[in-house]
Structure 1
């Protein structure tokens, strides 16, 4: 690995430092899908957080053309140590090692120039990212991070301070944008979420061995476990004991599966954990029915689930709770329930849905290629305007 390779090359017109709230290799999200599609003329540094019991990159690694490095920051500090972190001076002192490590790698990798672009989705870095000299600053609003449980009260100030310095804001939904304190004059782009269409649409006829061993139709969910409505999964499993319910995906909460007393003892519910993104289409395509049994909450109401488009690209029928506007707008190609009882009752109807072409045509409209092109166009336009 040649960490100084960027220095000897001609200066690219765009250098982007992105502060992420999620690790590059932990879960495939919109950040990875978008950044992988940026043009060759862009150099990108992705700063990921530290998290217990996960893979880290203390020495930078390349993911395609993107540099990835782990830098611990305040999010890693357990807030149960008391109210000491309410003191701004103490917060800065505890943040200092992470700040210095970040500045070290930013400099070594050739991203130290004030001509860079700063992007943020990890709001714990808000005040620091707002101080870094740059050509352009933007915020990627992919979740209502202030609605997450156990947030410290000072986190809102970190986000608001950063928003006061941004030139551009991308958001997954208008509902989320409306919750943010965005100054007048900031350009707002409702980018939404998308899908790597061909990755999920190309036929994978070989069924994973683990699915082949299950009985009856397979009702499957693929995504993060933490927003799953376990009581709804339990009700569905009990109502349809001849069907197998498959859960695929990681959990942020440690020992999540062991704590799910409502479902982990049911014989027709099977949790397989995280599936590598490269292998995921082979699993999803062999679902007889794809499920979106997510909790309805303030956090999820402003979300825009890319799993909706992944399911649709795979061609499988979809049954979802009506928990956000993106689901409501997709009623023509999926089945939507407004209550747990209706969700359970609609399973046979949804299983019988054969509108494969309609679902795939819908998914194709939301490809990551299109969304990445929009993001790049907006960033380049705003960057050039700032340079005038």
Structure 2
């Protein structure tokens, strides 16, 4: 594991529902110092309740950072939120953002006494800052095909990511598809699939009685996470109509209208819940589902919830995302409403080899992933003579 290093990380806000980048960096905090730079999103903001709330949170983080981020900050971690204006695809705004970010990072680095920091970024916009932050190494941690995100400034993100992949000393990608896309541009591209907090999610297996937060008629098909354009609502409508005795529960922020689903009495939408409480909700699932549409974005994603679901001990049914197919020894894969229904029925009645599954998940823990990342970074760091 890396030790005694100074690390600058660009990612989504620390303290929100933790991303894979946050999970990995948490593992490195014990022996390293980290400056975490909260960044703006990569979608163009809309006049939606979701985006208005997110914008308000961003503004508060600039004006009153301690109020905006009330979560406890671990030892060896420092968090900053440089002033960044959305619409980075407008050239003058992009220049202002660049100046603000570089100045804020330099000021924080000086205050902390950082020396030759390692730069780790989970967002393509950092392409504008590479080489100007005093870093000894740049690592691009690629979690998605960002240009394919709904509402993304596609051309700008394609330009930024291409630039970042070429500038980075190391690229680490979370799926085979992403590795295939990045490796021709940067041979130092490595696969590092998502890990899982096994103990946290396995605690769902011990939750009983009144501690279970979902109380709907069984069988309950459960989903948690962002609900957006990736969700195959047409397929879910067919499932709800065909199985009125099944209950479908979605937990999380909805970025799209759920009107087509909410007209069914057996569909229920719960707002976002804290990460720490997810096992209490998952304990009420009979089957956990990932009903994503297959498109350019979903073909490259590796949903964090795949292994989290598995750790709860609940059977899982997913549409055939490549990363779900990779785990088909443990996950049912279905490509239509009919096969989805059949897979749920099979999952409800099949015996579960929980012991083998938990052994597999222990090998996929975040500590193991952080060790692999440390090895990748260490092998790329300059030696005392300045050579890589």
Q: TM-score, normalised by structure 1?
A: 0.84
Measure how far apart 1:219 and its partner are.
0.8
> d(CA) in 1 for partners of 2:242 and 2:130?
50
Aligned to 1:195: 196
Whether contact under 8 Å (2:88, 2:94) holds in the other structure is: no
Q: Is the 8 A contact 1:313 1:364 kept in 2?
A: no
The alignment status of 1:363 with 2:327, answered yes or no, reads: no
Q: Write the deviation string for residues 317-342 of structure 1: whole angstroms up to 9, x where unpaired.
A: 11111022x21122222211122331
Given the alignment, which residue of 22, 30, 36 partners 1:32?
Answer: 22
Other-structure match for 2:128:
127
Distance verdict in 2 for CA 1:73–1:129, change over 3 Å: farther
State the Cα deviation string for residues 182-234 of structure 1 (Å, max 9, x = none): 555x4222111111011111333235668553122111012221232222222
Aligned counterparts of 2:20 and 2:28: Cα–Cα separation in 1: 13
Q: In structure 2, what is the Cα distance between the partners aligned to 1:367 and 1:37?
A: 10
Matched, 1:343 2:334: no
Deviation track 1:276-327 (CA, whole Å, cap 9, x = no partner) reads 1111112113211111111211111111222111111111111111022x21
Q: Deviations over 1:52-100 (max 9, x none)?
A: 14365443776323222222435x2386xxxxx2x4x563145433443
Shift of 1:356: 4.5
Contact 2:198-2:361 at 8 Å conserved across structures: yes
Structure 1 residue 161, shift from structure 2 partner:
2.1
What's 1:15 paired with? 6
Provide the rounded CA distance (Å) in 2 between the counterparts of 1:48 and 1:240. 43
Q: 3-state DSSP class of the match of 2:235?
A: helix
Residue 221 of structure 1 aligns with which residue?
Answer: 223
Per the alignment, residue 4 of structure 1 pairs with none
Task: Show structure 1 runs of 5+ residues with no match.
Answer: 1-11, 80-84
SS at 2:33's partner residue? Answer: strand
The Cα shift of 1:383 comes to 1.9
Q: 1:264 aligns with which of 252, 262, 265?
A: 262
Which residue of structure 1 lines up, in the alignment, with residue 57 of structure 2?
A: 54
Aligned-pair Cα RMSD in Å: 2.5
- How do 1:217-366 and structure 2 match up within 5 A? 217-226=219-228, 227-251=230-254, 253=255, 256=256, 259-324=257-322, 326-357=323-354, 358-366=356-364
**Most deviating of 351-360 and 56-65:** 56-65
- Looking at structure 2, the residues matched to 163 and 235 of structure 1 have their Cα atoms a distance apart, in angstroms, of 41
Alignment CA distance shift 1:282-1:239 (3 Å): same
| Matches for 1:108-187 after TM superposition, within 5 Å | 108-111=111-114, 113=115, 115-149=116-150, 150-180=152-182, 183=185, 186-187=187-188
Alpha-carbon distance change, 107 to 353 in structure 1, aligned in 2, over 3 angstroms: farther
The number of equivalent residue pairs is 359
| Rounded Cα–Cα distance in structure 2 between residues aligned with 1:246 and 1:316 | 14
Kindly indicate whether the alpha-carbon contact (under 8 Å) linking 2:148 and 2:154 is maintained by their aligned counterparts in 1. no
Pair 208,304 (structure 1): closer, same or farther in 2 beyond 3 Å: farther
Moved more, 153-162 or 267-276: 153-162
Q: Give the SS at the match of 1:346.
A: helix
Structure 1 CA distance, aligned partners of 2:165 and 2:367? 27
Whether the 8 Å contact between 1:249 and 1:274 is mirrored in structure 2 is yes
2:6–2:32 Cα contact (<8 Å) kept = yes
Change (3 A) 1:285 1:306: same
Q: What does the per-residue CA deviation read over 1:237-264, in whole Å, with 9 as the maximum and x for residues that have no partner?
A: 222111211111234x3xx4xx221112
Of 81, 84, 97 in structure 2, the residue corresponding to residue 73 of structure 1 is 84
TM-score by length of 2: 0.84
State how 1:65-104 maps to structure 2 within 5 Å: 65=75, 66-73=77-84, 76-77=86-87, 85=90, 87=91, 91-93=94-96, 95-104=98-107
Residue 43 (structure 2) aligns with: none
Determine helix, strand or coil for the equivalent of 1:67.
strand
